[in-house]
Amino acid sequence: MKVVLALVVSSIVLVPGNVVLARTKPPQPGRVSVSYLPVLGREEDAADQVSAYIMLHLGKAEARRLITGAAYAYKTEAEVAKAPPGVKQFADAHGTPAQRFYNLLCIAYGADPQLFGDMVKKGHLPKERAEDCKDEYEQVAYAFHQLIGQYLDPVLAKVVLEKGWLPDAKWQLLGKSASARPGFAGAHGKK
Cα separation, 31 vs 37, whole angstroms: 7
> Would the pLDDT of 8 be above 50?
no
CA geometry: angle 154, 35, 63, nearest 5 deg: 50
pLDDT at residue 170 in the model: 64
Find how far residue 177's CA is from the centre of its chain: 21
Question: Higher-confidence residue: 115 or 2?
Answer: 115
Domain ranges for the chain, please list them.
16-31+42-81+88-165
What lies within 8 Å, CB to CB, of 157 at 6+ separation is: 4, 5
Burial class (CB in 10 A: 0-12, 13-18, 19+), 58: buried
Cα separation, 48 vs 161, whole angstroms: 18
Q: What is the DSSP string of the chain?
A: --B-------S--SSHHHHHHHHHS-SSTT--STT----SS-HHHHHHHHHHHHHTTS-HHHHHHHHHHHHHHHHHHHHT-SSPPPGGGGGSSS--HHHHHHHHHHHHHHH-HHHHHHHHHTTSS-HHHHTTHHHHHHHHHHHHHHHTGGGB-HHHHHHHHHS--S--TT-EETTEEGGG-TTS--TTS--
- pLDDT bin (cut points 50, 70, 90) of residue 142 is very high
CB atoms < 10 A from the CB of 49, how many?
23
pLDDT (tens digit per residue) in 69-97: 999 999 999 888 777 777 877 777 778 89
> Would the pLDDT of 17 be above 50?
no
Task: Kindly report the length of the chain.
Answer: 191
Question: Higher-confidence residue: 129 or 20?
Answer: 129
> Would the pLDDT of 153 be above 90?
no
